[in-house]
Every structure is written in structure tokens, then in C-alpha cells.
Amino acid sequence: MARVRELHRGEPRELAGYRLVGRLGDGGQGSVYLGEDPTGRRVAVKVLHARLLGDERARRRFLRECVLAGKVAAFCTARVLDSGLVAGRPYIVSEYVPGPSLRELVSREGPRRGGGLERLAVGTVAALGAIHRAGIVHRDFKPGNVLIGPDGPRVIDFGIATAVEAGTSGSAVVGTPAYMSPEQIAGEPATAASDMFGWAATMAYAATGRAPFAGGSIPAVMHRVLTAEPDLSRVGEPLRSLLAACLAKDPAARPSAAGVLDALMDGGGNLLGRYERGARYERGDRFEDGDRYADLERYEGGDGTYPVEGGGADAGPGRRLSPRGRALAAGGVAVLLLGGVMLGLAWRTDVGAPAPPETVTEPIVRVGR
């Protein structure tokens, strides 16, 4: 169950008709409260931080991403119920999921095993596939952004906090190093393939209690993501092969969420046989339900479903890291390793829109080009 802190003096007791009964936590962009609607139903209320109120762009993006989140199938996330402005301050009201994050659960009870791990993998990759079909790239898929509700896992905090941060930092990309893809570390735009990398790292954590590139300093973790093979030695088959494919350094070599879900439903299947490693996503490739490629052209903002701005994410296809991106990534990590120079490093509690507060903080690193 999510931990709820009592409200302190000076904190609001009511917002837009919702009674606030406690605080779930704080993220980099907003505070999250446990609230009740007029009927007594419990909800999660996220309010943009006061320090961002003067940033009109951040306010617009906060609410725009709320609209996008509302397009995602309700089964896979904490459903958005309401949003608006109170005294010029944006808020988002979401379904309250009474359960811990995956990170909390593994920390408290240990790695997932057997059928429980299989259900988690199926539920989360199905959710990620629904998010991608809605034209959204999560960009920060990690254990703290998966809630274990009484009716199954929910993926939260997609495209909301990340969009605000990216919108206030030019071409910077924000993420959690142990779950960031190589292209994100290189400062290139995140894509659906980047999410598959984060999903695989998260499932490895669920199966072993340890991220596949974790350990040591943040620069060392980033270096391993770019150059080392993931440690999947404690993950059993057939999941190990699926995760290995999703953790390919080349984003275009990773299978889609639909492909992984199909393989999982087939008992693991022969993913590398059905979806040859190294096959390329191409712009304009499309799929009918169950096939590999998403309708990628509609993710490019042409129909307004996901406007692409600056260095933010797009939901387009996976791609190879460009030579410039590889050089920037290698050079950036080398500088970090040699000089300890951190590029906009910040620490924050890992809390999503309706997420419970985490007792352990994770590093959120900003990589600019």
C-alpha cells in the first residue's frame, strides 16, 4: 500500500473541489496528494510546482501531456480523470492505485519469480504497447514508474514530468542512468525502441533485484550502458533471450512491444527467429494487430497527436546512433569518468503522477547536446 504523509501546515486542504487528505510525495515537477472527489472516491492529485508557474511553456506542456495520457487505454495506467487550472496553477487528477511501486515491492519482498514474473512482464509490455499506439514515448520506464495495483501492474508518469523538464532545458534529455538507453545517454531523441530498453532493464531488476548495468558511480553506469553487455545471468529462459534482444545497443535491432507481447503469449517463442535481430524499423512501416511495426508516420506530429519540439521525444521508429551521437556519448562519459563532471545532475525522490513516495532516491541525469 502506498504510504501517505499527513499534510503539514500551509499545505492545501482542498483543490478544485477535491478534498486533500494526505501527501503521496514530490517529484521534480509537482507535488502529489491523496484526495477525495465529492462522492468520496479516492484520487491522486498532482499540482505543478510553484517555481514553474512563470514558465508558460511548461504549464502548456503539463496540460498537453495530460491530454495525451487520457488517450492511453485505461487498463494499463492510472486513468486521468480531470485536469485544469486553479489560480493559474495546473493540476492533474488521476485514478488512485492502492499499491506499491515495483521498486518498493522488490526492495521489500525480493525478486519476482515464476508466474508472478511472467504476469508482470506481460502486463507491463502490454501497457507499453498501448502507450506507443497512443503516440506517446514514456522516456523514463523504470521500477519506480510501475505500480503494482490489486488488479495488476500500471505504468505511470509517462510524458508528463519528462516533458516539463525537457521543455525547460533545450535539447536536454532526462532519465535514470541505469534504465536509460544508449541513444538517450548520447543525447539523441528517445523513441519507442528506447522504451523497450528501459522495459527490459526493469524486468531484469524485477527478476534479480538488480538493474543489469547497475553498480558504482553514475558515469560508470552510463559507460556500461554504452559499451558492456547486460548481466542477465540470473534471469531464466525464455525471458532472458527476450530481455537480451530488447537491450541491444542499436535501437533498430530491438523488437517492438507488440513483438515481445506476442512472444510472451507464445511461451517465450523464438523471438530472434521470428523477428530477426538487426531488422530495421523504417518510417511509414505499419502494422495490423499482432504484427511487428507500429504506424510510425502518425507519431510524427502530422495529425497533432504528438508534436515534436526541439530535442524532445518522438514516437517514431528506432534508429542507429549517429556517428556524432556515439562520439558525444563516448566523449561525455570519458569526461565524467576522468574529471567527475556531472552534466546537470540532480537528485529527486522517484514519484510519478499517482506514485507512492520512494524511500530511496534515484539519480536523474540530464544530458545536453
First and final CA of the chain: distance in angstroms? 40
Nearest one of 202, 216, 36 to 127, comparing CA atoms: 202
Q: Which residue out of 26, 37, 140, 289 is catalytically annotated? A: 140
Query: CA-to-CA distance for 343 and 339, rounded, in angstroms?
Result: 12
Q: The cell 556524432 sits on which residue? A: 324
Amino acid at 176: T
At position 279, the amino acid (one-letter code) is A
Q: Is 150 helix (H, G, I), strand (E, B) or coil?
A: coil
Asked if 108 contacts 64 with a C-beta cutoff of 8 angstroms, the reply is no
Nearest-angstrom CA–CA distance, 223 and 146: 26
CA 32, 354, 159, 362 torsion-angle sign: positive
Amino acid 121 reads A
- Residue 29 CA: distances (Å) to CA of 176, 229, 251: 15, 34, 29
DSSP string, 172-226: -EEE-GGG--HHHHTTPPP-HHHHHHHHHHHHHHHHHSS-TT-SS-HHHHHHHHH
DSSP string, 58-121: HHHHHHHHHHHHTTS-GGGS--EEEEEEETTEEEEEEE---S-BHHHHHHHH----HHHHHHHH
The answer to whether 291 is a known catalytic residue is: no
Sequence-distant (6+) residues with CB within 8 A of 188 are 173, 319, 321, 322, 325
- Active-site residue numbers? 140
